[in-house]
Structure 1
Amino acid sequence: MKKSIFLIGSLMAFYQVAAQKKDSIGQNRLDEVIVTASRSPEIVKKTASTVHIINKKEIAEQALISPDLSNILAYKVPGLAFGNNLVSNRGQTMRGRSVLVMIDGIPQSSPLRNNDREIRSIDPSVLERVEVVKGATSIYGNGAEGGIINYITQKSTSGKPFSGRTVLGFTSHDLFNNKMFKSDGGAGYRVSQSFFGKVGKLDYLVNGTFTQNGVKIDGEGLVQNPRYGLGETAVSNAFAKIGYDLNDNNRLEAMYNYYSSLQDSKYILDLGKYGERPSIGKLGEREGVKEGTRYNHNGYFKYINKNIFRNTTLNTTLYFQDFYTIYDYRNAPRWKTGGQSAILEKKYGFRADFNTEFGKDKGLKGSLTYGADLLNEKTSQPLVDGRIWVPEMNMLAIAPFVQGKLFLTDDLTVKAGLRWDKMSVKVPDYTTLPSNKDVPFNVQGGRLNYSNLSYNVGVSYVAFDFFQPFTSYSRGFNIYDLGRVLRDAKSNVLNEINTDPVVIDNYEIGFNSKIGQYIDFSASYFYNYSKLGADLVSVNGFWTPLRAPQYINGVELALNVYPTQGLTIGTNYTYQEGKVDVKNDNSYEKYLSGLRIAPARLNSFVKWSDKAQKLQLGVYHMYSFKRDKFEPALTGKYDEGEGPVKSFNLFNFQGSYKVNQLMTVGLGIENVFNTSYFTPTSMYTARDAEYVRGNGRYYTVSLNFNY
């Protein structure tokens, strides 16, 4: 009831403001256009939700410091948890909930078995921009309970038949010591080559990027624990996009992207002690095969018609994803004989979006986006030796949707939409693969059916540049990591296992502000609730879902100041907290674990460029606050996921100089002051093996050639 009053009151406030006179400040800093929020082109300030865009230039600046997309997003996106410095992005939630990651609309996240690899699923060298939409959404359905990260890939914008770009990079933790040229293992390199152009009606872009990471060193000069680490990994990315304009209204486009990230380390775990000394790497022979993502294939074939019938555009996409990743080797008692698990995913999908505009000439203006999503996904988690931990789950899904925008005035926009998801998951008969302490279950397979109606409504008012408020409600849902539930089954009948989806009610109110030519400010408050949530808790060393009511709320603030030409100063602050009703008595006495709730964070930056746009410099700061909400158990140890998180400061630097029209040199410094710190993940996880420090100081020198 309170939430309904909240929304109605917000709407009434907007209509009262609408009666006032419009401010005429003429700036366009919030007028960027995105497609992710409503599946049709839309101005950011009219989306009625919190949106962040990381453009190509910003991606390149951050990639010079580190090409790790997890870190790039953590520094640029308020509300997204700090990266864990591992190949896994487990715990990197958005506003405390899982996020749907896409590449050009192709889902990388899986509701059937979360692979925790989706944020690092493509190389930043081929990205045009990243569109981030906060909060649960019914626009894309299953999996987007915390928001959406959509990687938009590049296409050729050159009018020439042939152009190219070559980028060479060298990274070292000891740049100014002659040891950098010796085989101490700390150095790495990066090579990226692009060719692009336009010939008649045909445009093309191809890119190949290879990165070899050296050994990762912490602020104390110690080799980091290689388990799930990013050290000594070889990252490969191959990309191609070809477009053909049939005429002014019709276009065909095809894209393919291959990504892999494999670790081949000469180090093994030297076990530390949580709270006392870090786990580090020592020389030794590793068991098992190379771990990491063997391959991630993504591709689409797209047809676009800008006028299929009156005032209507059509965008159809036929897409696929083929993914295979391998985890580290685990000895007994995880499984009776130890082993390595892997996740395999295959997706085939079709998406059709119609967008009809009405009232252009006279009357009430608006637009209607409608269509359907079709998806077939097959996911399993076997061991490398052939044993089955999670059987192959085969999902068929269909989802018709409709999203409408009504422009009551030029400045007052109302949005609303519906989406109906119908899914069926076929599970074969299987036998659980227990540890030494458990008894195997022969589970009778069958078919799990899900049906969900999601809906959303939002209002934005943009008459005043200095105050552009919005409010929204959206219902989202997620089949929470079905494979994790099935592999821990304690029943021999499929339908007796609790596989109910997570349904989230998300509320948000906020505003954007442009104050003259010098200041941008935005603020938002969010609240989300799920009657049957899912939080991971550790049971005998295994992460298992806790199903109980839960809520999360928080605030996000962002400020950018432009005091003079070429100079930008910015800062943003994020705070969130959440509780779970373990007793199911409306008490909400227990805080959500660190896997869900990130500590508050303050990010700041200063960027400057000269008038000729030759020299560009940037300093980036992150302050991660502490979060200490749990008491240790009677044994004196913290439960996993509930360890205290201490605060820390980090500074990064990036600069570039354009020598001429063809060549640019760059320098990036990660962790400028060589701060010795533990990542939030290593602190809240409270496991000896995962108590690992973050990166020490790293230098990257790059040469960029355009021709």
Structure 2
Amino acid sequence: MRKSIFLIGSLMVFSHVTAQKKDSVNQNRLEEVIVTASRTPEIVKKTASTVNIINKKEIAEQSLISPDLSTILAYTVPGLAFGNNLVSNRGQTLRGRNVLIMIDGIPQSSPLRNNDREIRSIDPSVLEQVEVVKGATSIYGNGAEGGIINYITQKSISDKPLSGKTVLGFTSHELFNNKMFKADGGAGYRISQSFYGNAGKWDYLVNGTFTQNGVKIDGEGLVQNPRYGLGETAVNNAFAKIGYNINAGSRLEVMYNYYSSLQDSRYILDPGKYGERPSTGKLGEREGVKEGTRYNHNGYFKYSNKNIFHHTSLTTTLYFQDFYTIYDYRNPPRWKTGGQSAILEKKYGFRADFNTEFGRDNGLKGSLTYGLDLLNEKTSQPLVDGRIWVPEMNMIAAAPFVQGKLFLTTDLTLKAGLRWDKMSVKVPDYTTLPSNKDIPFNVQGGRLNYSNLSYNVGVSYVAFDFFQPFTSYSRGFNIYDLGRVLRDAKSNVLNEINTDPVVIDNYEIGFNSKIGTHVDFSASYFYNYSKLGADLVSVNGFWTPLRAPQYISGVELAVTAYPVRGLTVGTHYTYQEGKVDVKNDNSYGKYLSGLRIAPARLNSYIKWNDKSQNLQLGIYHMYSFKREKFEPAASGKYDEGEGPVKDFNLFNFQGSYRFNKLVTIGLGIENVLNTSYFTPTSMYTARDAEYVRGNGRYYTVSLNFNY
């Protein structure tokens, strides 16, 4: 029934639009171009899906408040769940589904073992823009069930041999009294240095950024729970990109990025009581080794040719990722003798993208993007002491794909694509590592083979500035966190363990509108369904996949107004809800947990630049609605993931003043009103140890030097 209503509505929209005449309102706003949606440059309004682009200027503005990418994205991307104020991004879904995170197309997410560290995998100081494509997509294959977030890194645009930029920042929650320099006052600092330039056919950009976070304080002045926390964390990022222009149409490019985030805290957990008092930090000796991401290496070697043969361009990319993170120390009964787990991932991949344009001179115009993806990934989850929780899984994957685009008229575009993924995962013999309540299983290894055909189709119509509708359908899939399934095995035979992938049918209808020269408006409705979902439920303190049919639907609305020159006012609203068919009888009587469904959210902002473009100010507001869908058990306690989520308001501020072309000073204030609030994650998780508040008021002062 939902599908029928969706398709009928789509036809009504397009039949109404084609009966109109083209709006001739002059537009001065620039068209945005994205490369993620179809792997070739494409105008956003013709992508036939909801797309968000966070440009370099917006990243810089938000970074002045907080350089945490999880927070930056929560304030700028409708449909993305609010961050949990922890180093983990668990529960930060996109439209209720897992999102594929990439750095220049290099996947940070892993289908073999979800590390919950993907969003914080690079420093924002080296980003040119962030491209977000909503909904399941077949163009990148496995993992993109909720959409894609692609971090696009910078390259030099200078015409001089040597240019540079230095950024110095200082952060404290006590900016205006004598406590600001004390360690227990939460003081931190940030240093970023870039050099870039152009010499003949060569161009380069190198950057090093170091951030030292102080102790994190909540709105009541209490030290936050340090477990998985961002307080007293040292973040390092080293980046380099070198390009060589062989001729006007072909280029070689090499990129490398190193990222690490390690916590060295003097505090340990002081457990709270869910619903009564927060978990905080107290001085003490921490068990185990330092937790955090020891390293995340990413790099690629890329060759591009704008005309490899007749009307055809080629981009080939050879890439790698090497990742290692360590989690916090857990006492029994997590394991019989306690310990710390770690995740190691190594990826080696190759991509070949051809793009052929046809009909340039006459006839039907369009393009065809086609190619091949190859990937080898090895992932494991051992304990630091050498015990094996998840054995090393070795995946080899190959995927040919084709994506076509037809310009039926100048304004009517039809897109369609196919991708066939063939994957083989080798699993060795292993023994499960249970808690005290379970018994170990000796599991005979073997190979898990997967094949999947994904496809998509979409239509966009842009004849009218005031009404530019689109509709799309896409099928995506995801081998959902295979390692989590294997470590909880209750069978001695690998093939008897349910490791079937999640297959998602995603539908979307929406429109973009430019009303005169002063207002932009967009709206979309989405619905996605998977016959075999993968919601997480807690079993004996472990998050375990629940494999059952589920659906999610929602709406996104966004308005941006330009009342006068230099002033921008905007707001966006997101609502989503989902249910799961636990009994598998088509009843869908249970709501999806908070790990999947975020509360509705309203984000608003006001930004202003003076005529000289020297002074810039911005105020940002977030209202997170409540979500209370579950009843407590007979004991009065809520099941984990089902706690009631209360509403809250937050205000942020940032401003900067450019004295001249060389020097700019900035001020950012996070949580201006020093609101004391619990994060949505801490509320729905319903665990005493994870019942934590968000940040209180924090000030950041920065100095930028360009030369």
Superposed pair shares fold, TM > 0.5: yes
Deviations 1:599-624 (A, max 9, x none): 00000000001000000000000000
CA distance in 2, matches of 1:9, 1:566: 38
- Residue of structure 2 equivalent to 1:505: 505
Deviations 1:5-54 (A, max 9, x none): 63365146425522431111222536211100011110000000000000
Structure 1 segment 97-108 matched on structure 2, within 5 A? 97-108=97-108
- Residue of structure 2 equivalent to 1:134: 134
Deviations 1:539-593 (A, max 9, x none): 1111000000000000000000100000000000000000000000000000000
Deviations 1:282-332 (A, max 9, x none): 000000000000000000000000000111000000000000000000000
Q: Which amino acid aligns with 1:683?
A: M
CA distance in 2, matches of 1:384, 1:83: 28
On the 8 A contact 2:28/2:517 being kept in 1, the answer is no
Per the TM alignment, residue 179 of structure 1 is displaced from its structure 2 partner at its CA by 1.4
- Residue of structure 2 equivalent to 1:488: 488
Per the TM alignment, residue 182 of structure 1 is displaced from its structure 2 partner at its CA by 2.8
CA distance in 1, matches of 2:5, 2:30: 29
Question: Secondary structure, in 3 states, of the residue corresponding to 1:340?
Answer: coil
Q: Which amino acid aligns with 2:101?
A: V
- Residue of structure 2 equivalent to 1:152: 152
- Residue of structure 2 equivalent to 1:549: 549
Residue 472 (structure 1) aligned with residue 472 (structure 2): yes
- Residue of structure 2 equivalent to 1:49: 49
On the 8 A contact 1:566/1:611 being kept in 2, the answer is yes
Residue 408 (structure 1) aligned with residue 400 (structure 2): no
On the 8 A contact 1:128/1:154 being kept in 2, the answer is yes
- Residue of structure 1 equivalent to 2:203: 203
- Residue of structure 2 equivalent to 1:637: 637
Residue 528 (structure 1) aligned with residue 536 (structure 2): no
Q: Which amino acid aligns with 1:431?
A: T
Q: Which amino acid aligns with 2:566?
A: G
CA distance in 1, matches of 2:322, 2:679: 31
CA distance in 1, matches of 2:329, 2:103: 30
On the 8 A contact 2:183/2:214 being kept in 1, the answer is no
Q: Which amino acid aligns with 1:339?
A: G
CA distance in 2, matches of 1:256, 1:84: 29
Q: Which amino acid aligns with 2:248?
A: D
Deviations 1:630-656 (A, max 9, x none): 000011100000000000000000000
CA distance in 1, matches of 2:556, 2:179: 44
- Residue of structure 2 equivalent to 1:87: 87
- Residue of structure 2 equivalent to 1:110: 110
Question: Secondary structure, in 3 states, of the residue corresponding to 1:295?
Answer: strand
Question: Secondary structure, in 3 states, of the residue corresponding to 1:330?
Answer: coil
Q: Which amino acid aligns with 1:27?
A: Q
On the 8 A contact 2:580/2:591 being kept in 1, the answer is yes
CA distance in 2, matches of 1:57, 1:126: 12
**CA distance change for structure 1 residues 13 and 30 in 2, over 3 Å: closer, same or farther?**
farther
- Residue of structure 1 equivalent to 2:323: 323
Structure 1 segment 569-588 matched on structure 2, within 5 A? 569-588=569-588
CA distance in 2, matches of 1:698, 1:12: 50
Question: Secondary structure, in 3 states, of the residue corresponding to 2:179?
Answer: helix
Q: Which amino acid aligns with 1:432?
A: T
Q: Which amino acid aligns with 2:696?
A: G
CA distance in 1, matches of 2:10, 2:690: 45
CA distance in 2, matches of 1:292, 1:485: 23
On the 8 A contact 2:179/2:185 being kept in 1, the answer is no
**CA distance change for structure 1 residues 422 and 565 in 2, over 3 Å: closer, same or farther?**
same
CA distance in 2, matches of 1:568, 1:183: 38
CA distance in 2, matches of 1:94, 1:378: 26
Q: Which amino acid aligns with 1:257?
A: N
CA distance in 2, matches of 1:2, 1:684: 29
Question: Secondary structure, in 3 states, of the residue corresponding to 2:328?
Answer: strand
On the 8 A contact 1:7/1:472 being kept in 2, the answer is no
CA distance in 2, matches of 1:367, 1:605: 38
Question: Secondary structure, in 3 states, of the residue corresponding to 1:3?
Answer: helix
- Residue of structure 1 equivalent to 2:694: 694
Question: Secondary structure, in 3 states, of the residue corresponding to 2:630?
Answer: coil
Q: Which amino acid aligns with 1:422?
A: K
On the 8 A contact 1:30/1:45 being kept in 2, the answer is no
- Residue of structure 1 equivalent to 2:274: 274
Give TM-score, length-normalised by structure 1.
Answer: 0.99
- Residue of structure 1 equivalent to 2:119: 119
Deviations 1:338-372 (A, max 9, x none): 00000000000000000000111111100000001
- Residue of structure 1 equivalent to 2:371: 371
CA distance in 2, matches of 1:4, 1:161: 60
CA distance in 2, matches of 1:15, 1:418: 27
Question: Secondary structure, in 3 states, of the residue corresponding to 1:564?
Answer: coil
CA distance in 2, matches of 1:403, 1:98: 23
On the 8 A contact 2:173/2:185 being kept in 1, the answer is no
CA distance in 2, matches of 1:159, 1:96: 44
On the 8 A contact 1:11/1:471 being kept in 2, the answer is no
Question: Secondary structure, in 3 states, of the residue corresponding to 1:563?
Answer: coil
Per the TM alignment, residue 69 of structure 1 is displaced from its structure 2 partner at its CA by 0.1
On the 8 A contact 2:417/2:455 being kept in 1, the answer is yes
CA distance in 2, matches of 1:5, 1:587: 20
Q: Which amino acid aligns with 2:616?
A: Q
RMSD: 0.9
CA distance in 2, matches of 1:23, 1:107: 41
- Residue of structure 2 equivalent to 1:290: 290
On the 8 A contact 2:13/2:469 being kept in 1, the answer is no
Per the TM alignment, residue 248 of structure 1 is displaced from its structure 2 partner at its CA by 0.5
Q: Which amino acid aligns with 2:523?
A: A
Q: Which amino acid aligns with 1:224?
A: Q
Per the TM alignment, residue 57 of structure 1 is displaced from its structure 2 partner at its CA by 0.3
Structure 1 segment 344-493 matched on structure 2, within 5 A? 344-493=344-493
CA distance in 2, matches of 1:111, 1:514: 39
CA distance in 1, matches of 2:184, 2:590: 47
- Residue of structure 1 equivalent to 2:27: 27
On the 8 A contact 2:571/2:604 being kept in 1, the answer is yes
Give TM-score, length-normalised by structure 2.
Answer: 0.99
CA distance in 2, matches of 1:406, 1:104: 27
Q: Which amino acid aligns with 1:357?
A: E
Q: Which amino acid aligns with 2:159?
A: G
Question: Secondary structure, in 3 states, of the residue corresponding to 1:532?
Answer: coil
CA distance in 2, matches of 1:497, 1:67: 42
Deviations 1:176-231 (A, max 9, x none): 01111233251000000000000000000000000000000000000000000000
- Residue of structure 1 equivalent to 2:665: 665
Q: Which amino acid aligns with 1:390?
A: V
**CA distance change for structure 1 residues 26 and 569 in 2, over 3 Å: closer, same or farther?**
same
CA distance in 1, matches of 2:494, 2:449: 12
On the 8 A contact 1:11/1:459 being kept in 2, the answer is no
Q: Which amino acid aligns with 1:260?
A: S
Query: How many equivalent pairs are there?
Result: 707
- Residue of structure 2 equivalent to 1:566: 566
CA distance in 2, matches of 1:692, 1:235: 22
- Residue of structure 1 equivalent to 2:66: 66
Per the TM alignment, residue 3 of structure 1 is displaced from its structure 2 partner at its CA by 1.3
**CA distance change for structure 1 residues 471 and 103 in 2, over 3 Å: closer, same or farther?**
same
**CA distance change for structure 1 residues 691 and 440 in 2, over 3 Å: closer, same or farther?**
same
